[in-house]
């Protein structure tokens, strides 16, 4: 039963269709990841971007998908992910700005929380900087 205190999550029919086309067990793993990401950033909306489901909150937050055998969390920032490397252990692997994981081994909640928190901060800071650049200067 939905929690009446929580706002409704903005779901995308395109993301639903993407997940419907993913075979099990990857579909279940990605659906669980989707739910966890929305729980961590309930204000985010989801879209399809560059062919993958992407959460948007002050810009692209994270994306997720599968290459057929493994699942992936696209963190969007290799530098941020590099700072978290010690928290990412096998069977999870890092490639650039992406964490790959087998569907039977979901990412730890603490790692997901850190990724979403840090990406949210980065996006909000960038949003503020952009707003300040676009504010007319007083004479």
For the whole model, what pTM was predicted?
Answer: 0.86
According to DSSP, the residues that pair with 73 across neighbouring strands are: 64, 99
In a domain, 101, yes or no: yes
Domain presence at residue 59: yes
pLDDT in tens, 11-45: 789 999 999 999 999 999 999 999 999 999 999 99
Buried (b) or exposed (e) across 35-67, using 16+ Cβ within 10 A?
eebbebbeebebbeeeebbbbbbbebbbbbbbe
CATH assignment at residue 49: 3.90.1150.200
With respect to residue 8, please indicate whether it lies within any of the assigned structural domains: no
Q: Is residue 112 part of a domain?
A: yes
Whole domain around residue 85: which residue ranges?
Answer: 13-130
Is residue 103 in a domain? yes
Contact 61, 55 (CB under 8 A): yes
Total domains, the chain:
1
Q: Is the peptide bond before 25 cis (omega within 30 degrees of 0)?
A: yes
């Amino acid at each position: 039963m939905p929690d009446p205190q929580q706002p409704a999550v903005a779901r995308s029919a395109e993301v639903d269709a993407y997940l419907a086309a993913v075979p099990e067990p990857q579909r279940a793993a990605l659906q669980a990841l989707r739910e966890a990401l929305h729980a961590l950033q309930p204000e985010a909306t989801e879209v399809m971007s560059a062919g993958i489901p992407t959460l948007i909150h002050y810009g692209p937050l994270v994306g997720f998908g599968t290459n057929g055998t493994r699942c992936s969390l696209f963190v969007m920032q290799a530098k941020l992910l590099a700072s978290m490397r010690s928290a990412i252990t096998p069977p999870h692997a890092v490639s650039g700005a992406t964490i790959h994981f087998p569907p039977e081994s979901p990412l730890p909640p603490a790692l997901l929380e850190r990724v979403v928190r840090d990406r949210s901060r980065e996006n909000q800071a960038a949003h503020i900087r952009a707003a300040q650049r676009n504010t007319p200067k007083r004479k």
